[in-house]
Amino acid sequence: MALTYQTVDVFTDTAFGGNPLAVVFGAEGLSKAAMQAIATEFNYSETTFVLPPQNPAHTAQVRIFTPRMEVPFAGHPNVGTATVLAWRGSAFGAPVGDRVMFEEAAGLVPSRIMREKGRAVGATLTAPQPFQRLNEADVTEVAACLGLRPSQIREDRHVPVVGTVGLPFLLVELVDRAALEAARPVTGAIETSPSVSPVKDIHCYVRAGGAEGFDLRTRMFAPLDGVPEDPATGSANGALAGLLAELDGPADGTLALRIAQGVEMGRPSVLLAETDRAGGVTTAIRIGGRCVGIRRGELVASRKPGV
């Protein structure tokens, strides 16, 4: 079987915006090391490998790799992979309709295909795990990791805190847009910070208040994963949506957020987050967006099963 791929820009409707993703097919029999080597070759923030599902009722098993490691779940890989499968029309002999179900290390990830005039234009995933608020981080250490002053980190609503819906991120609110633009990852500080190094990945944000049509503007830094900055991070924004729903959301109903990311990188992205609440409890978190196909191809390097 040929090892083929399609690349797609995720969380955008414009080519060469959003977050690039490589979706690889035909990787049955490849070892984890071989998948990692291919992901490192693409050098995108993530590459997915679409494999036969263990349960035939599901669409596919999906494995996700950064340039340095495999991760149990991530947002833009699910949105992009679901959209690519919708374009292909079938997966492992079964038709792909308006809903897909992926088997991933973090759990089952359902996604709904977004269509316009019958054509898939994107997807919306539901996070595989409920939002969890975990450890807090020291403000002084976090500021050093972002190249900022402690006074540029906002603490009145929440201190820097780890949140997850399947993949953990340190969630940090900054005081204003200038602080967001000035932020940069300081790898040495991240490696040595007792409160930051265990989670590594920092997702910082400011409240946009509807400016330019957005509720939030965000940036995500993961240099220890080989991703100095990510143009669009569905899993991090899903965790952020869960946190904000606990802080500001309705007791019953849905908190909807329109999020801008990647602007400072020249790859503007638009993420649509929804958090369902019932009786003061979050019942579901969804992240969606549009996708643009970029290229298709075949990996021609010699490949041996299991290598």
Query: What are the tens digits of pLDDT across the range 159-200?
Result: 999 999 999 999 999 999 999 999 999 999 999 999 999 999
Q: Per the domain annotation, does 306 fall within a domain? A: no
Number of domains within the chain: 2
d(CA 233, CA 77): 9
Cα distance between residue 240 and residue 287, in whole Å = 11
Same domain for 148 and 108: no
pLDDT band at residue 1 using 50, 70 and 90 as cut-offs: low
Residues 41 and 157 in one domain: no
pTM of the shown model: 0.95
Distance CA 70, CA 249 (A): 33
Catalytic residue at 46? yes
Q: Shortest CA distance to 263 belongs to which of 148, 194, 198, 183?
A: 183
Question: Based on the domain organization, do 275 and 179 belong to the same domain?
Answer: yes
Host domain of residue 149 = 132-289
- What's the mean per-residue pLDDT of the chain? 96
> Does the pLDDT value for residue 303 go beyond 70?
no
Same structural domain, 218 and 251? yes
Residue 305 pLDDT level (bands cut at 50, 70, 90): very low
pLDDT over 70 percentage in the chain: 98
Q: Is residue 303 part of a domain?
A: no
The catalytic residue among 28, 41, 46, 264 is 46
Alpha-carbon gap, residue 96 to 28, rounded angstroms: 20
State how far the Cα of 180 lies from the Cα of 137, in Å rounded to an integer: 18
Among candidate residues 123, 80, 75, the one with its CA nearest the CA of residue 240: 75
Predicted pLDDT of residue 2:
81
> What 3-state class would DSSP assign to 265?
helix
- Same-domain pairing of 269 and 192: yes
User: What CATH number does residue 162 fall under?
Assistant: 3.10.310.10
